[in-house]
């Protein structure tokens, strides 16, 4: 906070919050921030509040020195890399509880996750006080959540959501992709292929002059593609939700939707989504 006070109020500050283990998706957010702000700040913090029991907090990739070099190379002016003790002191008892997000399919799959995200993002925004904050569309519910926080709590921050960055074969870039074995990595593009199949159904229906598409039809085509890959051990959910609220839809009209999924390929949980409109 002391450092932030040295930045003039007329100076635009772009902020890219990360948990480290950076990939091109993160770096693309930094480049966008660099192109549109006077000062760019990035944070690296593996937030324990958003990990549940049995999740990968302890083994989540940590490479602060490498990440710091990558951020400097793409134009970050300042890096904020706090410890857990700094962010959550021994007497810390206050959390941000976003109502309803625990009822989304992602929230049901990861109890407490969105409370942890809402809390850390609120804290980071209070500390950094950015003009613009940049996030990737890959975490669809999280993007809606952050916009909701900013509006509900009257934060003076512009939330910028950027398109998901993908590998050449369509796999959404993610720090957790490092967990994939070579064989699993070879099969992983089926996740995005299943979402593309939903887009084909959506586009074809509207091309024939239909006014809406049944959400069940979109879910079924995603599931049918995923079922073709034996290495997918579990499809946790396929959701068809409103773009603004992430509430489930029965029918999809001209306003579009977001189709999202979570599945376990081998031993790795993968998430992805596609916006249809």
Q: What are the residue numbers of the active site?
A: 26
Write the CB contacts of 74 (distance below 8 Å, at least 6 apart in sequence).
Answer: 27, 30, 31, 34
Pairing of strands 132-136, 158-162: parallel
CB burial class (10 A; 0-12, 13-18, 19+) of residue 241?
Answer: buried
Q: Are 171 and 194 in contact (CB under 8 A)?
A: no
Under 8 Å between Cβ of 276 and 259: yes
* CA–CA gap between residue 277 and residue 274 (Å, rounded): 10
Structure tokens at 170: 């369509």
**Residue 9 CB: number of other CB atoms within 10 A?**
7
Question: In the chain, what is the straight-line distance between the N-terminal and C-terminal CA atoms, in Å?
Answer: 41
Residues near 201 by beta carbon (within 8 Å), at least 6 away in sequence: 213, 217, 218, 221
**Separation between Cα atoms, residue 77 and residue 90, nearest integer Å:** 31
- For residues 263, 264, 269, 270, the Cα torsion angle rounded to the nearest 10 degrees is -40
């Amino acid at each position: 906070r002391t450092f932030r006070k040295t930045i003039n109020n007329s100076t635009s500050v772009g902020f890219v919050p990360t948990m480290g283990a950076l990939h091109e998706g993160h770096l693309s957010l930094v480049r966008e921030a660099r192109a549109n702000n006077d000062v760019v700040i990035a944070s690296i913090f593996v937030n324990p509040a958003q990990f549940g029991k049995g999740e990968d907090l302890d083994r989540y990739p940590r490479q602060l020195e490498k990440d710091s070099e990558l951020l400097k190379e793409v134009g970050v002016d300042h890096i904020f890399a706090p410890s857990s003790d700094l962010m959550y002191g021994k007497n810390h008892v206050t959390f941000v509880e976003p109502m309803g997000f625990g009822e989304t399919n992602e929230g049901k799959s990861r109890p407490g996750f969105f409370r942890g995200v809402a809390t850390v993002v609120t804290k980071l925004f209070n500390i950094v006080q950015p003009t613009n904050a940049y996030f990737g569309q890959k975490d669809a519910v999280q993007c809606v959540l952050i916009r909701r926080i900013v509006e509900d709590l009257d934060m003076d921050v512009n939330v910028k959501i950027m398109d998901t960055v993908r590998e050449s074969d369509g796999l959404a870039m993610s720090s957790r992709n490092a967990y994939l074995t070579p064989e699993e990595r070879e099969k992983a593009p089926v996740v995005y292929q299943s979402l593309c199949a939903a887009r084909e159904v959506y586009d074809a229906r509207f091309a024939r002059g239909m006014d809406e598409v049944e959400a069940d039809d979109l879910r079924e085509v995603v599931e049918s593609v995923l079922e073709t890959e034996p290495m997918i051990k579990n499809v946790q959910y396929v959701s068809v939700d409103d773009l603004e609220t992430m509430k489930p839809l029965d029918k999809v009209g001209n306003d579009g939707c977001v189709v999202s999924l979570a599945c376990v390929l081998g031993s790795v949980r993968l998430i992805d989504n596609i916006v249809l409109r």
